[in-house]
Amino acid sequence: MPTYDFRCKKCFHKFSKRVSSSEKDKVTCPECNERAEQIFTGFLYKKAAGENGSSGGCSGGSCASCSGC
Ligand SMILES: [Zn+2]
Protein backbone atom coordinates (compact mmCIF):
# COMPACT_ATOMS: atom_id res chain seq x y z
CA MET A 1 0.00 0.00 0.00
CA PRO A 2 1.53 3.35 -0.95
CA THR A 3 2.01 6.25 1.41
CA TYR A 4 0.40 9.52 0.45
CA ASP A 5 0.88 13.00 1.81
CA PHE A 6 -2.14 14.87 3.02
CA ARG A 7 -2.98 18.28 4.34
CA CYS A 8 -5.93 19.15 6.49
CA LYS A 9 -8.36 21.54 4.89
CA LYS A 10 -9.08 23.17 8.23
CA CYS A 11 -5.86 23.42 10.22
CA PHE A 12 -3.42 22.68 7.37
CA HIS A 13 -1.72 19.99 9.38
CA LYS A 14 0.43 17.90 7.07
CA PHE A 15 0.84 14.20 7.50
CA SER A 16 1.55 11.04 5.61
CA LYS A 17 -0.70 8.07 5.67
CA ARG A 18 -0.83 4.67 4.10
CA VAL A 19 -4.11 4.24 2.36
CA SER A 20 -5.37 2.50 -0.69
CA SER A 21 -6.05 4.76 -3.63
CA SER A 22 -9.77 4.30 -3.19
CA GLU A 23 -9.58 5.68 0.35
CA LYS A 24 -7.57 8.79 -0.39
CA ASP A 25 -10.71 10.86 -0.49
CA LYS A 26 -11.80 9.75 2.94
CA VAL A 27 -8.71 10.59 4.93
CA THR A 28 -9.23 12.80 7.93
CA CYS A 29 -6.83 14.95 9.91
CA PRO A 30 -5.35 13.28 13.01
CA GLU A 31 -5.35 16.65 14.77
CA CYS A 32 -8.86 17.93 14.28
CA ASN A 33 -10.65 15.14 12.43
CA GLU A 34 -11.58 17.35 9.54
CA ARG A 35 -11.33 16.17 5.97
CA ALA A 36 -7.83 16.21 4.54
CA GLU A 37 -6.82 16.47 0.93
CA GLN A 38 -3.95 14.80 -0.81
CA ILE A 39 -0.97 16.95 -1.61
CA PHE A 40 1.58 16.28 -4.30
CA THR A 41 4.95 16.98 -2.79
CA GLY A 42 6.80 17.83 -5.97
CA PHE A 43 4.14 20.17 -7.20
CA LEU A 44 3.67 21.81 -3.82
CA TYR A 45 7.38 22.43 -3.40
CA LYS A 46 7.62 24.02 -6.78
CA LYS A 47 4.60 26.18 -6.18
CA ALA A 48 5.70 27.28 -2.73
CA ALA A 49 9.16 28.18 -3.92
CA GLY A 50 7.75 30.23 -6.73
CA GLU A 51 5.30 32.07 -4.53
CA ASN A 52 7.42 33.14 -1.61
CA GLY A 53 10.90 32.56 -2.98
CA SER A 54 12.17 31.48 0.41
CA SER A 55 13.18 27.93 -0.33
CA GLY A 56 15.24 26.29 -2.99
CA GLY A 57 16.93 28.03 -5.84
CA CYS A 58 15.94 31.32 -7.28
CA SER A 59 13.02 31.64 -9.62
CA GLY A 60 13.15 35.29 -10.49
CA GLY A 61 16.34 35.18 -12.53
CA SER A 62 18.64 36.54 -9.82
CA CYS A 63 20.60 34.77 -7.11
CA ALA A 64 19.91 37.39 -4.48
CA SER A 65 17.77 35.06 -2.41
CA CYS A 66 19.81 31.90 -2.73
CA SER A 67 23.35 30.86 -2.02
CA GLY A 68 24.19 30.66 -5.69
CA CYS A 69 22.73 28.32 -8.21
ZN1 LIG B 1 -6.73 19.45 10.98
pTM over 0.85: no
Per-residue model confidence as pLDDT tens digits over 6-61: 999 999 999 999 999 899 999 999 999 999 999 986 655 555 555 554 555 666 66
Q: How far is the CA of 54 from the centre of ligand 1 (A)?
A: 25
Question: Contact, 33 vs 13, CB < 8 A?
Answer: no
User: Which residues lie across from 36 on neighbouring strands?
Assistant: 8
| Neighbouring C-beta atoms of residue 29, cutoff 10 Å | 20
How far, in Å, CA of 14 to CA of 6, rounded? 6
Ligand 1 centroid–CA 10 distance in Å is: 5
Ligand 1 centroid to residue 19 C-alpha, Å: 18
Q: How far is the CA of 62 from the centre of ligand 1 (A)?
A: 37
